[in-house]
Amino acid sequence: MKYLLFFSLLLLTEFVNAQRIILPLNNDWQFTKDKYIVDGNAAVSWQTVQLPHTWNVKDIMDDEPGYYRGEGWYKKTIDITAALKNKKVLLYFEGANQQTEVYVNGKKAGGHTGGYTSFCIPISSFLKTGLAKNEIAVKVDNSYNENIPPLSADFTFYGGIYRNVSLVFTNDVHFTLADNASAGLYISTPVVTAKKATIAIKGTVVNASAEKKYLRIISTIFDRHNKKAGEIKTLSAVNPNEQQNFEQNISTFNAPHLWSPEDPYLYTVVTKITDAVSGKLLDEIKNPLGFRWFSFDADKGFFLNGKSYKLIGTSRHQDFEGMGNAVSKKIAVEDIALVKKMGSNFFRVAHYPQDPSVLDACDSLGLLTSVEIPVVNEITESESFYQNCKKMQVEMIRQNYNHPSVIIWCYMNEILLRPHFATDKERQKIYFSSVTNLARSLDSITRKEDPYRYTMIANHADFNRYNDNHLTTLAMITGWNLYSGWYSSKQEDFPAFLDRHHEKLPQQPFMISEYGADADNRIRSSTPLRFDKSVEYATQFHQFYITEIMKRNFVAGAVVWNLADFNSETRTETMPHINNKGLLTWNRIPKDPYYLYQASFLKQPFIKISTAAWNIRGGIADSLGEFCYQPVQVASNLKEVVINLNGKIIGAAMVKNGLATLNVPFVNGPNTLQVTGNKEEVIFKDTLVINFQLQPYKLNSKTIPFTQLNILLGAKRYFIDEKNQQLWLPDQPYHSGSWGHIGGKPFVIKNNTQLPYGTDKNIAGTDDDPVYQTQQVGIQQYRFDVPAGTYELTLHFAELQGGVIKMPPYNLTDTGRDENAVQRIFNVSVNDEVLLHNFNIQQQYGAATAIVKKTKVTVVNNAGITIAFNSIEGESVLNAIQLKKLDSFLSKF
Ligand code: GCB
């Protein structure tokens, strides 16, 4: 702490004569959720925090629905050394969600509305100089506000100063910092060809001094090696306390090195203001410059620098496990690198502008982008809402104007998903026209602000609703968020939708602005089904989509929803509060579909055992008791892959659409898998060790003595319990010598068209929700034909009917789902001994709560274990069961 202070003072003195000083102001803020009165003495308990910071890290993950949406206060004391007293001082916030008020020494210095754009607050006139302490206090409020978008959305509206803050010092003469927190300078390239380009630089110079200033503005273009590639100088005379716009045009820039995804060549424009009389440098800023030209064509798709490209990429939310949205720039930049490494050339910055480092990374890594404001799902028909939308759009455009990666500005997402006035069709028409009017004005503002880029709206799959309201043709490109085969039933509806757009709107270029399927990395299946959350279903889904996208030239591009899992507090499902459509987990571990994208879009040879995350496996041995066949997927762009198991080649498979599937005879214990493929005689390989727990075919097997079984009832999926490093297997009907249920059927929500089995309710008291979310209803017995010995038996229950009934955010079809409470009372006995008497889950524990019942069982002779369920009222249920041999060591003798 002392060291830091010393360091920052050192910095200050060193840079005091520099034109512009930017000091990070992220350390050691005081934070409270108490009510703080800036100029009063209220008792407040403060806590020291570092920025970026959010107050919602914990409450978004607990079982309690909702999270804190209200006020939070931050305060910090700064001293401005005397040496800086002649500078203009500003506070620059990269983002705080969502309404902010800034106080300096007890007086309000400014504020900002909106959680996703930057803002700049001049504070000079509020400061005490010399060695005086200045208190900065910042109130941030993330409450619902009907006048501030987003109103509702499938992500969490974390509160706090969740991006960096800095103190900026400038001279009296400087590039404006009062223009929507932009650079104060706009660089465009109105004409670009392979041979030459034109460059237009527009900006505003402020003269806050009491004298008229004669200024020279010099823009110098440096190439990647810092070699001067061009320069323009202009003169401005600016009256005291005035500002003036200026324009510089370079009409011929020869042989520009073009910017593209393969070669993201960046120039730097350094723009200086010098005093024309004394030559003194007064201000200096740097901006990136990339030369490229691009166009969208309704028939042929997207072109960059005259070459056809299929835009491929992902979106991203800005949060990370354990941090909320308060992530470092390092994480943001690593995310963009992961988008690039996947083989992408595009990145949709949805659903709001993100940390400034994101577009910097897109510029330098070569990802074309679209950026948007958070107008999602619905609008409020109020002047204040409209003004906030427009302000956000202008801020977004001006703050990000100089990024060569940006090619599209977007301003609405699925805006007709939640149409107001569902029961009053006449009023609804008015609402729809309000939406269209808002879209029109946002579109025209955008075209005026930036005539060099495209505009876009992202719609959900209700073609007619958007078309009838002109939202399919109003923007220059239409985005479609399509989830056929996920939210709606058939994957085949996806290609049909693409063809329909092209047929109905042959002049309108479009891209798929979203598509994706949930994959909970802990859930695996050899019989994948829509909505089972298995990684296998998602992988197949992406393979199908990629194939259909690549078949059609008129589809300009497609964007996976989403790069990584993200928090959406209101969601429940297998991983409560998480949207699992990420190609990576919330902490950025790749899931199988990520490898499929690499195999499909990387140019260099690629081979990867794509089921890498499924490295704890298990299954039932074949009748000979030595191995169990299970499929392993390999993602590759090579023609053929050869597989080697524990040192022996066991087969080969052709790669089709990025994947090869191999049936592997796993043995008990560690299995070393190696896959190889070759290209032009060079061999590429990947290796993975999979720990396999082979279950005996007959439980009294001598070759594989029984040790432990974990079984999910009413499920066709496997579940990996990462914490205990154990695997849960899907249940089976009992057969002699083995194990399984007798009687009953899997729990299915009545009148639901999405879940194949089980519930999507959050189960309280566990992080292993899938263990409890499926169930055998009407079960009579569960049997294990285990040999003599002592066992630990664990029964897992949860009542799946009743409790809080909440429709998941994207279930627009199942209006009549029957999830009401039912009465059930039953007894459970184990080998004729009563374990649970008059067991009434609903009454004793409530619905959707994990209940664990454990007992010890001693088996003599060949009696095995029979768990009997006797119903007194309603149907008996069981969700999961575990059996563990306690004396397995002794029984070997
Ligand atoms: C959408 C939304 C996005 C959601 C996504 C999903 O269409 O635009 O915000 O997160 O679907 O996963 O449901």
**pLDDT tens-digit map of 230-254:** 999 999 999 999 999 999 999 999 9
The stretch 759-763 carries a mean pLDDT of 95
Mean local confidence (pLDDT), 527-555: 97
Distance 561 CA to ligand 1 centre (A): 7
What pLDDT does residue 893 have?
Answer: 42
What pLDDT shows up at residue 274? Answer: 97
pLDDT at residue 807 in the model: 75
Which residues line the pocket of ligand 1, CB cutoff 6 A? 153-154, 351, 413-414, 460, 481, 514, 561, 579, 581, 810
Contacts of 729 (CB under 8 A, 6+ apart): 618, 619, 695, 709, 710, 711, 712, 718
**Residue minimizing CA distance to atom 7 of ligand 1:** 481
Contact 175, 248 (CB under 8 A): no
Q: Closest ligand 1 atom to the C-alpha of 351?
A: 9
376 CA from centroid of ligand 1 (Å): 10
Top mutation candidate among 579, 754, 811 for ligand 1, by most atoms within 8 Å of CB: 579
Residue nearest to atom 3 of ligand 1 (CA): 154
131 has which bridge partners? none
Nearest Cα residue to 829 out of 816, 819, 839: 839
Distance 572 CA to ligand 1 centre (A): 15
What confidence tier does 131 reach under pLDDT thresholds 50, 70, 90? low
Ligand 1, closest atom to CA 514? 7
CA distance 717 to 730: 5
**Mean pLDDT value of segment 484-491:** 94
Ligand 1 centre from 484 Cα, in Å? 13
Model confidence pLDDT, tens digit, residues 375-406: 999 999 999 999 999 999 999 999 999 999 99
Write down the pLDDT at residue 623. Answer: 82
Candidate from 155, 414, 531 with most ligand 1 atoms within 8 A of CB, to mutate? 414
- pTM recorded for the entire structure: 0.96
Q: Among the atoms of ligand 1, which is closest to the Cα of residue 414?
A: 8
> Which ligand 1 atom is nearest residue 566's CA?
10
**pLDDT tens-digit readout, 651-703:** 999 999 999 999 999 999 999 999 999 999 999 999 999 999 999 999 999 88
- The Cα-based distances of 406 to 15, 239, 300 in angstroms read 33, 36, 21
Ligand 1 centroid vs 741 CA: distance in angstroms? 38
Distance 487 CA to ligand 1 centre (A): 10
Q: Is 458 in contact with 491 (CB distance < 8 Å)?
A: no
| Per-residue pLDDT reduced to its tens digit, 508-535 | 999 999 999 999 999 999 999 999 999 9
Mean pLDDT value of segment 347-361: 98
- For the cut 90, the answer to whether the pLDDT of residue 843 exceeds it is yes
Average pLDDT over residues 272-295: 97
Q: How far is the CA of 493 from the centre of ligand 1 (A)?
A: 18
Least confident of 9-13, 344-348, 498-502, 555-559: 9-13
Local structure of residue 203 (DSSP, 8 states) = E
Q: Does the pLDDT of residue 889 top 80, yes or no?
A: no
CA–centroid distance, residue 460 to ligand 1 (Å): 9
DSSP secondary-structure letter at 858? E
Which atom from ligand 1 is nearest to the alpha carbon of 487? 13
pLDDT given at position 35: 87
Do 580 and 565 contact (CB within 8 A), yes or no? Answer: yes
